[in-house]
Amino acid sequence: MTSQIARPALWRWIVGTIFIVTTWQVLGLALTLLLAGFFDLDAELLFPNADEDLAKIRALPAWSSAATVLISFLPLLLATLLAYRIFLKRNQKSLFTFHERYSYKKTWIGFASLALISLSLGALELLLNWGSYRFSFEASAFLPYLLIAFTLLPIQITAEELFFRGWIQQWLDNGKMKQWSISIISGALFSLPHLLNPEVSGNELLFPIISYGATGFMLAWVTYRDKSLELAIGAHFANNLLAALLVSSDDSALPAVSLLRSAEVAWGPAAVIAVVIAPLFILLTGKWSGSRAIEGSSPRSLRDA
């Protein structure tokens, strides 16, 4: 996303990024440990390095362990907003959109579009590989987890969108790079922290990189096209919510109470589905990317200032 206000100098982006990442890691860890103590959880289990650790996590109440993991994204959200204001001297609304106002309708369009495509392709994958899944729904655990899903999941996905599609993508969009290049780099950067997830451990990295990278590319593309995070936030929420409530895996980074569960992520099919979803989502949401008033004037790239 770009705007007609003067582009901040390179050092501001670098210092701001260091501030964001450091704040996220330090305060995020502190909040996680604090909440783990409140719920009387073994904090070491939140950083699993063996299958037995994952098994112990699954034995914990899903809602409390999920809350302990998700609370770590609150500092990322706040640090990105602060850095944008303090280091870049920009109005924080421009992190979300360069239009005159943020459209919640488009966020719901992003949610519905991604959910529709994912459910359609997911149903086909389930039919083809039904033997890989088992019914795992527990009604007693569902309601408290639902509360966490609708309070802390929005914080997680908004924090990631503000940092990756807001902060990082605006940094990349310097007037010299094309939409394809920005979207590919943004997707690659988005995939990197996800490669540390426990479901990736022990697997070849190619398919996870393709899976996460295709999702990141898709979100970056629509953000660049629409000069707004509206669709990306909605789609990201749909993706994470469906994974938490409908289909998940035993080795997932986030505890879930899903209807169906598999022993592990099938990264080959997951990569194929992600690659198929990306262009479908871009095309489907293109009909809602018509002209809207841009803050300042028509969007263009700017000089460093």
* pLDDT above 50: residue 302: no
The CA distance from 172 to 169, in Å, is 5
CB-based contacts of 77: which residues, under 8 Å, 6+ apart?
155, 158, 159, 162
Domain housing 54: 10-288
Task: Report if residue 144 sits inside a domain.
Answer: yes
Q: Do 35 and 68 form a contact (C-beta atoms < 8 A)?
A: yes
The reported pLDDT for the residue numbered 299 is: 41
Task: Report if residue 297 sits inside a domain.
Answer: no
> What average pLDDT does the structure give for the chain?
86
Please give the average per-residue pLDDT across 72-88, as a whole number: 97
The reported pLDDT for the residue numbered 175 is: 85
Task: Report if residue 294 sits inside a domain.
Answer: no
Question: What are 302's two structure tokens?
Answer: 């700017």
The CA distance from 257 to 243, in Å, is 9
Task: Report if residue 293 sits inside a domain.
Answer: no
The reported pLDDT for the residue numbered 134 is: 86
Task: Report if residue 304 sits inside a domain.
Answer: no
3-state secondary structure of 7: strand
What torsion do the CA atoms of 23, 81, 95, 274 make, to the nearest 10 degrees? Answer: 40
**Residue given tokens 């992190």 in the structure block:** 95
Task: Report if residue 296 sits inside a domain.
Answer: no
The CA distance from 173 to 301, in Å, is 7
**What confidence category does residue 292 fall into, taking pLDDT thresholds of 50, 70 and 90?**
low
Task: Report if residue 5 sits inside a domain.
Answer: no
Task: Report if residue 95 sits inside a domain.
Answer: yes
- Express as a percent the part of the chain with pLDDT over 70: 85
* pLDDT above 50: residue 3: no
CB-based contacts of 59: which residues, under 8 Å, 6+ apart?
none
Count how many domains the chain has: 1
Question: What are 196's two structure tokens?
Answer: 């540390």
Query: Burial letters for 182-214: b for 16+ Cβ neighbours within 10 Å, e otherwise?
Result: bbbbbbebbbeebeeebbbbeeeeebbbbbbbb
Please give the average per-residue pLDDT across 65-87, as a whole number: 95
Q: H-type helices in the chain, by residue range?
A: 10-38, 51-58, 62-70, 74-86, 93-96, 104-128, 139-149, 152-160, 169-172, 179-194, 206-226, 230-245, 267-285
The CA distance from 115 to 121, in Å, is 10
Question: What are 216's two structure tokens?
Answer: 């990141």
Name the packing angle between helices 74-86 and 152-160 (round to 10°). Answer: 40
Residue pLDDT, tens place only, 203-219:
678 999 999 999 999 99
The pTM score is 0.89
Please give the average per-residue pLDDT across 177-204, as a whole number: 88
The CA distance from 142 to 149, in Å, is 10
The reported pLDDT for the residue numbered 101 is: 93
The CA distance from 224 to 142, in Å, is 37
The CA distance from 229 to 222, in Å, is 8
Rg of the chain's alpha carbons, rounded to an integer?
19
Q: Do 2 and 297 form a contact (C-beta atoms < 8 A)?
A: no
* pLDDT above 50: residue 105: yes
Closest listed residue to residue 118, CA positions, set 286, 236, 200: 236
